[in-house]
Amino acid sequence: MAINSSLAPRAPPAILSPLMSGFRLFDLNPEQERAVRTTEGPLLILAGAGTGKTRVITARVAFLIAQGVDPAQILAVTFTNKAAKEMRERLAKLVAPEQAKPVTMSTFHALCVRVLRQDIDKLGYKRNFSIYDEGDTTGLIKKIITRTAAKDEKLEANVAKSLISKAKGNGWSEVTPGDEQSLAAAVFAKYQQELKTMNAVDFDDLLLLTYKLLTEHAAVREKWQRKFRYLMVDEFQDTNRLQLELVTNLADARQNVAVVGDDDQSIYGWRGAEVSNILEFEAHFPNPTVVKLEQNYRSTNAILGTANALIKNNPRRRPKQLWSAHEGGAKVRVIGMSDDRQEADFITSEIAQRAVTEGAKHEDFAVLFRMNAQSRMVETHLRELHIPYRVVGGSSFFDAREIKDLLAYASVLLNADDDVSLLRIINTPARGIGPSVVERATELSVHKRCSVFAALQDGEFRSGLSKRAAEALAAFTGFLDAWETKLNTPLSKQAEVLRAFIGETGYLADLKRSCKTQDEGLKRENKVVEMIRWFEDDEEAKGKSLRDFLDDMMLREEKEEDEESKGSGVTLITLHAAKGLEFPHVYLIGLEEGLLPHDRSKMEGTVDEERRLLYVGITRARQTLALTWCGHRIKYGSPMPGTASSFIKELPAEWVEHKNATQMLNAPVAAETVKGKFGALRALLENTPS
DNA sequence: TGCTTTATAGTTTTT
DNA sequence: CTATAAAGCA
């Protein structure tokens, strides 16, 4: 996110000379400059919240280029596409386009796809492997569980999935011990074997198989070590063991590995992130240069003092002390509420009030919470006051049925062994291949350890079918074959082939028929058409193949922004999703024992991570921060009593003031009055074009 | 096939 | 309470 944009003058647009003369270090502070200038050997940059991390990374890449490093030999790895994109945009402002373009800036996963598409055959997969997303893998695991579990055995698909994911993230096979260990282990083994017969990989496999490739095939490892001479890893505190291993294996003897991260912001331990990667960095990369970035360009000292005091209570961490050249700022308010209704009412009416009295914009405010369910009450109250808002997170563009169907069709063309996709579309629209045929084919595929498509081709299988079914099946497989050939004809425009193929399937007509309203049908159809056009653009502009495009789609999160509320309004967001963002005014709600820290964290012994979560929340605020807790909260329909979070006791008296909402609501302006005034003002504003 | 009823469980989430 | 998934029904 935009770190310190208000303070920093824009950097000069181009590097004047590859030599040091003329190269300005963009007004970096001494620590930042040291991080940028340290180009050789391992480097650990401990970048506290709001200390200009992204700036340092991009400046360092620019510096490397100015030093004469070939841009193509620089690799910067991030966690999200968004971060990679942002970094690329920032770099584009520091160096010439022809220097920026060859730099590799990608996520771990995208990088691994690149490696695997070249050499995965060395591991017994085919190079046209499919990538399965969360939904695909959950479905697969579910099926395997029902097939494997005895009647008295129970195993939740999500539990199994997380066990499998963690096992893979740690390198390989050991499934964490537990009561269902044997079943989970069996499911794991079957799952992995089935993925392979389908020539498919999941997200974890992307990392795992790349790791295998690099460690077991020296030639491949050396190829990539030669390619990348300077490595940078962002958000290093979020890496798991496998990702650390990948970095280790990509680095050659020179060990030019620069990692950037903040152990205090490690909040993804529950999904396999290893804080020890950053805490014990020296063990993995001996004698590193260590740089601490502690000057914060985001928040007031009241906010930073509060954050510092809180996080000091964590035992395993690298000591850091954020400070700011800004004023002390307003004290952090800790406000006790009677219940969650009052909490929401207080926050929303105060936002309404401050919009008037302080002239603050709605998008300056954010409400942060531990659980998504907490947003509801706030939403209701915001709607009542006609305050625009956006809820971050939510459903993805790619969750839409029609998009999944389209991607499945495309995937089957490229890899017919992809059962998950094949089964998705085999009878959509209905083409006479009913559930019984599909079931028998699936059974045979399990028995013969082949893909469903291969099972469908089996002569014996076909002769066992009714004449009608056999004909329908032959028509379908022939159809796929024909279009596969067309797609792979050299010089053919794949987007056009795909469009014609989808047309021929009759999918769109079927889609529209299944919709209740015509309007909905058109919208859905439009999505499909749009996506094909999107591919067409990529094919023409960037020369992407359908496979490239599918890879991009599978590895992209891209939450769908609500079209009307895009860009404006109060932000409602979970603490996890808020990492990396900043807002002038933050309300952090639900600071109750059991919610933050969450009850489950106590059982799991991860209260430290909950503290970091609160720390992340606090450090999102630029100017003002309010923390609230409730004496009662509606849980599962009925109000449950609650007490203030134990974290509140850890906050420093110097920077914090304690209040209670009943006084505040009654004292200056009654909430109703504010509502009325604001409503009138708003009506006025709405008649004025903005 | 597609719909309504019933049971069940209930952090955090990117790739 | 409410979202979701499986089961039951037309």
Statement: the CB of A635 is under 7 Å from strand B: no
pLDDT band at A375 (very low <50, low <70, confident <90, very high): very high
Q: What pLDDT is recorded for position A156?
A: 85
Least confident range from A110-124, A179-193, A345-359: namely: A179-193
| Å separating the CA of residue A202 from the C1' of nucleotide C9 | 38
Q: What pLDDT is recorded for position A558?
A: 64
**Separation CA A200–CA A531 (nearest Å):** 23
Statement: the CB of A397 is under 7 Å from strand B: no
Q: How many CB atoms lie within 10 A of CB A583?
A: 24
Q: What pLDDT is recorded for position A557?
A: 67
Query: Which residue's C-alpha is at the least distance from the C1' of B14?
Result: A80
pLDDT band at A689 (very low <50, low <70, confident <90, very high): very low
Strand A570-574 vs strand A365-369: parallel, antiparallel, or unpaired?
parallel
Partners of A107 in beta bridges: A78
Q: Is the pLDDT of residue A460 over 70?
A: yes
Q: Is the pLDDT of residue A66 over 50?
A: yes
Q: Which nucleotide is nearest to A637 (CA to C1')?
A: C1
| Å separating the CA of residue A514 from the C1' of nucleotide B4 | 18
Segment A55-74 shows an average pLDDT of 96
Q: What pLDDT is recorded for position A258?
A: 98
Q: Which nucleotides of C are covered by protein (CB under 7 A)?
A: 1-2, 6
pLDDT band at A523 (very low <50, low <70, confident <90, very high): confident
Q: What pLDDT is recorded for position A522?
A: 87
Place of tokens 């993804």: A268
Q: What pLDDT is recorded for position A13?
A: 37
Q: What pLDDT is recorded for position A164?
A: 92
Active site residues of A: 53-54, 234-235, 265, 620
Q: Coil, strand or helix: which one is A62?
A: helix
- Please report, rounded to a whole number, the percentage of residues in chain A having pLDDT higher than 90: 72
| Å separating the CA of residue A266 from the C1' of nucleotide B8 | 33
Least confident range from A51-55, A276-280, A658-662: namely: A658-662
A526 by Cβ neighbours in 10 Å (0-12 / 13-18 / 19+) ranks as exposed
Statement: the CB of A93 is under 7 Å from strand C: no
Q: What pLDDT is recorded for position A398?
A: 78
Q: Is the pLDDT of residue A562 over 70?
A: no
pLDDT band at A69 (very low <50, low <70, confident <90, very high): very high
**Separation CA A202–CA A168 (nearest Å):** 10
| Å separating the CA of residue A401 from the C1' of nucleotide C8 | 25
Between residue 20 and residue 59 of chain A, the positions with Cβ below 7 Å from nucleic chain C are none
| A233 in Cβ contact with A207 (< 8 Å) | no
More confident residue, A459 or A617: A617
| Å separating the CA of residue A330 from the C1' of nucleotide B7 | 51
Q: Which nucleotide is nearest to A638 (CA to C1')?
A: C1
Q: Is the pLDDT of residue A39 over 90?
A: yes
Q: Which nucleotide is nearest to A634 (CA to C1')?
A: C1
Of A470, A681, A625, residue with least CA distance to A49:
A625
Q: What pLDDT is recorded for position A23?
A: 55
Least confident range from A58-72, A185-199, A673-687: namely: A673-687
**Separation CA A391–CA A385 (nearest Å):** 16
Strand A570-574 vs strand A583-588: parallel, antiparallel, or unpaired?
unpaired
Q: What pLDDT is recorded for position A181?
A: 55
Segment A211-226 shows an average pLDDT of 97
- Please report, rounded to a whole number, the percentage of residues in chain A having pLDDT higher than 70: 89
Least confident range from A70-74, A306-310, A431-435, A565-569: namely: A565-569
Q: What pLDDT is recorded for position A565?
A: 47
Least confident range from A98-102, A147-151, A535-539, A664-668: namely: A664-668
List, in sequence order, the alpha helices (H) in A236-293.
241-250, 276-279, 281-284
Q: What pLDDT is recorded for position A566?
A: 58
Q: What tens digit of pLDDT does each residue of A382-401 get?
A: 999 999 999 988 777 777 88
Query: Which residue's C-alpha is at the least distance from the C1' of C2?
Result: A636
**Sequence-separated contacts (24+) of A419-422 with Cβ below 8 Å:** A419/A194, A419/A198, A419/A200, A419/A445, A419/A451, A419/A452, A419/A453, A420/A130, A420/A132, A420/A136, A420/A139, A420/A140, A420/A198, A420/A200, A421/A130, A422/A451, A422/A452, A422/A453
Q: What tens digit of pLDDT does each residue of A626-641 get?
A: 999 999 999 988 899 9
Q: What pLDDT is recorded for position A150?
A: 73
Partners of A624 in beta bridges: A585
Statement: the CB of A544 is under 7 Å from strand B: no
Statement: the CB of A142 is under 7 Å from strand C: yes
pLDDT band at A567 (very low <50, low <70, confident <90, very high): low
Segment A397-409 shows an average pLDDT of 88
Q: Is the pLDDT of residue A323 over 90?
A: yes
Statement: the CB of A637 is under 7 Å from strand C: yes
Q: Is the pLDDT of residue A5 over 50?
A: no
| A31 in Cβ contact with A291 (< 8 Å) | yes
| Å separating the CA of residue A514 from the C1' of nucleotide B1 | 11
Q: Is the pLDDT of residue A180 over 50?
A: no
Statement: the CB of A97 is under 7 Å from strand C: no
Segment A643-665 shows an average pLDDT of 91
Q: Which nucleotide is nearest to A108 (CA to C1')?
A: B15
**Separation CA A83–CA A86 (nearest Å):** 5
Q: What tens digit of pLDDT does each residue of A482-522 get?
A: 999 999 998 899 999 999 999 999 999 988 888 777 788 88
**Separation CA A367–CA A390 (nearest Å):** 10
Query: Which residue's C-alpha is at the least distance from the C1' of B2?
Result: A514
Statement: the CB of A395 is under 7 Å from strand C: no
pLDDT band at A25 (very low <50, low <70, confident <90, very high): low
Q: Which nucleotides of B are covered by protein (CB under 7 A)?
A: 1-3, 10-15
Task: Tell me what the pLDDT averaged over chain A comes to.
Answer: 89
Q: What tens digit of pLDDT does each residue of A104-116 get?
A: 999 999 999 999 9
Q: Which nucleotide is nearest to A138 (CA to C1')?
A: C5
More confident residue, A333 or A398: A333
Statement: the CB of A315 is under 7 Å from strand C: no
Q: Which nucleotide is nearest to A599 (CA to C1')?
A: B11
| Å separating the CA of residue A270 from the C1' of nucleotide B12 | 8
Segment A126-154 shows an average pLDDT of 87
